[in-house]
Amino acid sequence: MKRTPTIPSRTTTINQTTECSAEVNDRIRCRAYELYEQRGREDGHDLEDWLRAESEVTQKEAKAAAA
């Protein structure tokens, strides 16, 4: 008996994308906090820290996906 491949529903795909986005956001948040701590917890650089962390995490994700 031939099996028909299961096609993920739109809801499943959206939930998986949301979970991935949440995981990436958590990694960015953690890295941004590390940068804040490395600076000696100096306030006023939150956007700079976030953008740097976002860049580092997304580059790391891209390299992992390419491997």
Domain boundaries, given as residue ranges, for the chain: 18-66
Contact indicator for 60, 30 with CB cutoff of 8 Å: no
pLDDT of residue 17: 65
Give the largest CA-CA distance in the chain.
66
- C-alpha distances in Å from residue 36, one per residue of 5, 9, 24, 47, 59: 48, 41, 18, 11, 20
pLDDT tens by residue, 33-61:
999 999 999 999 999 999 999 999 999 98
pLDDT tens by residue, 5-28:
556 565 555 556 667 889 999 999
How far apart CA 51 and CA 48 sit, in angstroms, is 5
Contact indicator for 27, 57 with CB cutoff of 8 Å: yes
